[in-house]
């Protein structure tokens, strides 16, 4: 079964393997398969589910809501997000204005079929809305009982500090940040993680397998497998391109004997690696088939010894991205068109 971790400086626990439906629900797989995978996740002990209004332009929330319908609401945790353009994508259908946050939470609750979400997250930082307006809106969402906790995604260390200070003034707290993080993409380690530890904020990390590259299925000098994420624009193919070169793929193949020595598959090694960071509360995993989750959950509770961690670092040292400046490039400087 899956272990649990506290989210930030709160009493709220989440499953350290959390199911994310970014590229699967209402996009990569049919609804029946998506619902079966959610039910499999629950059977395996995954109780935390992450989505966003922007996934499949709101349709992913609908599928997740259908999958969770009729279940005991106290037995699962739902996370969703607000920021990116959705719906008809008009001038107020995006960003972190008070209007869009309230339109967003009301829409998400309706699509998910729940009275509240456990965690409501700012999907990016909005440079066009005063942070005071954003944080006041989140405070009111919490006070109205529509969300229990507030988090963010891909905020810089400075943004986390400013947001946490305002949240404290408004009598609530930021409990989480959701950044990309893997053994190949380590940019949060320099500034974001230290700031988060100081502020009582946890990371819920996405792409712990570097869009599948750390699974080892992409081989240097070989054609990309048909049907893989690297060939599917709906599955975030553009995100994976930075890793799709022979230097990276050759380095990743060096992890295979390390995983075998640890008694793990390569995907399990990748997920276990991010969970060794004490500031990480959960690793987001997706699945297009229920059996994929059976492999992923075996990473829960794994402790990698110092020798294994050093071997992974040495294998990936030439290709792992560690530049903290990358954290300043994620949120658009203006609202997306």
CA 6 to CA 16: how far, in whole Å? 9
Rg (CA), the chain: 19
Q: What's the Cα-to-Cα distance from 306 to each of 84, 273, 301, 311, 313, rounded to whole Å?
A: 40, 11, 16, 8, 10
Structural tokens at position 104: 């967003």
Alpha helices in the chain (DSSP H): 31-43, 59-68, 98-112, 131-143, 157-169, 192-199, 237-240, 246-253, 255-262, 266-275, 290-296, 306-316
Q: Is 66 helix (H, G, I), strand (E, B) or coil?
A: helix
Six token digits for residue 204: 């819920």
Q: Which of 148, 162, 164 is nearest to 79 (CA)?
A: 148
Q: Which residues pair with 20 in a beta bridge?
A: 50
Residues belonging to the active site: 55
Assign residue 170 a region: left if phi > 0, alpha if psi is -120 to 50, beta otherwise? Answer: alpha
What is the distance between the terminal CA atoms of the chain, rounded to a whole angstrom?
Answer: 43
3-state secondary structure of 219: coil
Chain Cα centroid distance, residue 194: 19
Residue carrying structure tokens 């954003």: 134
216 contacts 255 by C-beta, under 8 angstroms: yes
If DSSP codes are grouped into helix, strand and coil, which group holds residue 67?
A: helix
């Amino acid at each position: 079964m899956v272990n649990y971790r506290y989210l930030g400086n709160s009493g709220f626990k989440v499953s350290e393997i959390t199911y994310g439906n970014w590229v699967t629900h209402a996009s990569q797989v049919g609804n029946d398969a998506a619902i079966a995978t959610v039910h499999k996740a629950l059977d395996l002990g995954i109780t935390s589910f992450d989505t966003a209004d922007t996934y499949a332009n709101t349709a992913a929330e609908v599928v997740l809501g259908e999958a969770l319908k009729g279940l005991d609401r106290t037995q699962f945790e739902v996370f969703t997000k607000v920021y990116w353009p959705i719906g008809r994508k008009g001038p107020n259908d995006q960003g972190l204005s008070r209007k869009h946050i309230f339109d967003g939470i009301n829409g998400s609750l309706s699509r998910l079929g729940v009275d509240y979400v456990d965690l409501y997250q700012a999907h990016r930082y909005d440079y066009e809305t005063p942070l005071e307006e954003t944080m006041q809106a989140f405070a009111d969402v919490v006070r109205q009982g529509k969300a229990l906790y507030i988090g963010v995604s891909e905020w810089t260390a400075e943004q986390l500090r400013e947001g946490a200070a305002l949240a404290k003034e408004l009598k609530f707290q930021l409990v989480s940040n959701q950044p990309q993080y893997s053994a190949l993409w380590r940019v949060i380690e320099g500034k974001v993680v230290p700031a988060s530890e100081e502020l009582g904020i946890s990371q819920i990390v996405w792409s712990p397998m570097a869009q599948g590259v750390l699974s080892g299925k992409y081989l240097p000098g070989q054609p990309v497998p048909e049907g893989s994420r690297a060939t599917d624009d709906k599955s975030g193919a553009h995100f994976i391109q930075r890793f799709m070169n022979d230097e990276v793929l050759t380095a990743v193949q060096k992890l295979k004997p390390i995983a075998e020595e640890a008694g793990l598959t390569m995907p399990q090694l990748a997920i276990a690696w991010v969970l060794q960071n004490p500031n990480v509360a959960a690793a987001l995993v997706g699945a297009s088939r229920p059996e994929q989750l059976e492999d992923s959950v075996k990473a829960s509770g794994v402790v990698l010894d110092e020798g294994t961690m050093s071997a992974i670092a040495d294998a990936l040292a030439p290709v792992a991205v560690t530049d903290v400046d990358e954290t300043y490039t994620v949120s658009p400087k203006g609202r997306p068109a």
